[in-house]
Amino acid sequence: MATQTLIYCVGAAKAGTSWLFDYLYGHPQTYFPTVKELNYWNSVAMGKGGFYRGTLEDRKGEIAARHATTTDEDLRAYQLQNMADIEEWLVTFDGKTRDDKAYLGFIGAGLEDARLVGDFTPGYALLPPEWFAEMARVHENVRFLYLLREPVDRIWSQFRMNAGGDGAAAACMADGFLDGGERDVARRSNYRRTLTRLAEAVPEDRLHVEFYERLFTEDALGGICDFLGIDMIPAAFDKPVHRSPEAPLDAARRARLQDALRPQYNFIERTMGTLPVEWTQRMVTA
C-alpha cells in the first residue's frame, strides 16, 4: 500500500471546508469519521476543550431532534453514525489530556484501505508555529491545506452564521469588529498570520493553499487530490454544505470592512501572485 497521508485542513472558516470534507468523506480511497472539527490540537494547546465538548454535545442533541422527523433512510443512517461518532470522540478525548495514539486511532491512521485520513478543524488556523510542528510529527506523511476566501465575503459569511441569519445582528457584529471587537473572528480573518506561521513550521511541499473562488472547479479539485495522493472522482460542485443564511451587506459597511482587511488583500496578492477575479475586483476599492 502507498504511504498513507494525514491531512490537516486548518481553515479558513467559511471558505469551503465543509464542502471539501463532504467530498473527501464520500471518496472510496479515504477514511474520515463523520465528525468534522475535532478541535483536538487547539484544545490541548489553548485549553478550550470544555467549550468544544459542549459544542459537540449540543450538536448531538440537534442531530437527534432532526433524526426524529427524518424519513429518508440513508440520511437517518448517517445521522445515527454521526451521533455514534460524536459519542465515541467524547469518550476518546476528555478535552484536555493529550493522547496522540487515541486521536490517530479515531481518525483512522494506519487503516490499510485508507490512502487518506485527516482532521478538518478551521480553529487550528489560530495555533502558533510550534503546534503546527507538533501536528506534523505524529504521522510519517502529514500535509496541511488552507483555503482562502475573499476577505469581506468570508467575514460576512461568518457573521451571518453566528447571527443565525439575523441581518441586523450580523451588522452589529460587523460594527463590533470594526470597533476592535469580535476578537475570535478577527483572528480567523488574519490569513497573513496563519500563512506566516505555517511557513515557519511546514515545508513548502507539505502545504497547499487554494482559493474558495476556484475550489469548485475540476482544475482546483484535481490539484488538491494530487496533493493528497488520491484519485479525483466526480464532484457535486453545486451542492450546498453548511451554507450560512443569507443577509445583505450594505455598501457602507462593505467599504469599511474592505479597508480594515486591506493588509490581507495585499499580503495574499504578494504571496499568491495571481488572484481570482472576485478578489481583484474588490481590491480596486480596498
Q: What is the pLDDT of residues 137-156, one digit of tens each?
A: 999 999 999 999 999 999 99
Q: Using the predicted structure, report yes or no on whether residue 53 has a pLDDT greater than 80.
A: yes
> pLDDT grade, residue 20 (50/70/90)?
very high
Record the cell numbers describing residue 256, joined without a space. 469599511
Flag whether 34 is in a domain. Answer: no
- Structural domain span for residue 273: 5-28+130-283
pLDDT for the residue numbered 1: 52
Residue 152 is assigned to a structural domain of this protein: yes
Split at pLDDT 50, 70, 90, the class of 218 is very high
Is residue 237 situated within a structural domain? Answer: yes
pLDDT at 241: 79
CB atoms within 10 A of CB 53: 18
- Mean pLDDT computed over 198-226: 98
Provide mean pLDDT across the span 207-236. 98
pLDDT of residue 17: 97
Please give the pLDDT value at position 36.
Answer: 96
- CATH number for position 231: 3.40.50.300
- Average pLDDT, whole number, for the chain? 95
pLDDT at 286 over 80: no
Per-residue confidence at 273, pLDDT binned at 50, 70, 90?
confident
Give the pLDDT mean for 69-96: 98
- Whether residue 60 is contained in a domain is answered as no
Q: Is 225 among the domain residues?
A: yes
Of 51, 54, 56, 11, the residue nearest 33 (C-alpha): 56
Average pLDDT over residues 156-177: 94
In this prediction, residue 285 carries a pLDDT of 52
| pLDDT value of residue 223 | 98
Those residues with Cβ within 8 angstroms of residue 94's Cβ, 6 or more apart along the chain or in another chain? 49
Is residue 112 a part of any domain in this protein? Answer: no
Tally of structural domains, the chain: 1
pTM of the model: 0.94
In a domain, 33, yes or no: no
Instruction: Give the Cα separation of 182 and 179 in Å (integer).
Output: 9
In the predicted model, is pLDDT for residue 200 greater than 80?
Answer: yes
Please report whether residue 87 resides in a domain: no
Q: Is the pLDDT of residue 77 over 70?
A: yes
For 26, 209, 233, 265, 274, the CA distances from 268, given in Å and listed in that order, are 31, 11, 30, 5, 9
Span 13-29, mean pLDDT? 97
* 100, pLDDT greater than 80: yes
